[in-house]
Amino acid sequence: MPRTRKDEAPIAISEPSIEGRYVEVDDYTISFETFPIASDPGPLFVGLPDDRCQCPHWGYVMRGSFSASYADGEETFHAGDAYYLRPGHLTKLGAGTEIVEFSPTKPLQETMAVVGANMEAGVQVR
């Protein structure tokens, strides 16, 4: 059975607002993300349909909390919560939040191509 652990996953993103470790397992990407400071990464998703993340994610909040907003409302998740984020969301992360997340790799890569281009263009997380 394919598997991974946080301490085995390479650090792919190391910024003041996020440390991200990612491993592809079959057609899914397992993400271990830590958010040291409160942040709103919404500006990084400009250029995607409706300027929102279109990739679905399933996850678990290890520590802290975050909110996900949709055109039709908002949800908040806390430590101990398992969650599903449907396409069309934006998140706001609380300081010290840590999550484990599972995403289909192809839509995640499409999303991250736009996020990466925005980061290279100097777009800042709020």
Other residues' Cβ atoms within 10 Å of the Cβ of residue 110: 12
Q: Has residue 71 been placed in a domain?
A: yes
- Give the pLDDT confidence of 18-58 residue by residue, as tens digits: 999 999 999 999 999 999 999 999 999 999 999 999 999 99
Supply the Cα-derived Rg of the chain in whole angstroms.
14
The CATH number of the domain holding residue 100 is: 2.60.120.10
Look at residue 105 and give its three-state secondary structure. helix
Q: What is the domain count for the chain? A: 1
Q: Has residue 2 been placed in a domain?
A: no
Given strand 18-25, what is the order of strands in its sheet? 11-15, 18-25, 28-35, 97-104, 57-63, 82-85
- Whether 60 and 6 have beta carbons less than 8 Å apart is answered as no
- Nearest partner of 98 among 44, 61, 73, judged by Cα: 61
Q: How far is residue 24's CA from residue 4's CA, in Å, rounded to a whole number?
A: 9
Name, in order, each residue with C-beta under 8 angstroms of 67's C-beta and a sequence gap of 6 or more: 74, 75, 76, 77, 91, 92
- The reported pLDDT for the residue numbered 2 is 85
Q: Has residue 100 been placed in a domain?
A: yes
Task: Residue 109: give the domain boundaries.
Answer: 7-120
- Give the pLDDT confidence of 78-99 residue by residue, as tens digits: 999 999 999 999 999 999 999 9
Q: Is the pLDDT of residue 1 over 70?
A: no
Other residues' Cβ atoms within 10 Å of the Cβ of residue 38: 15
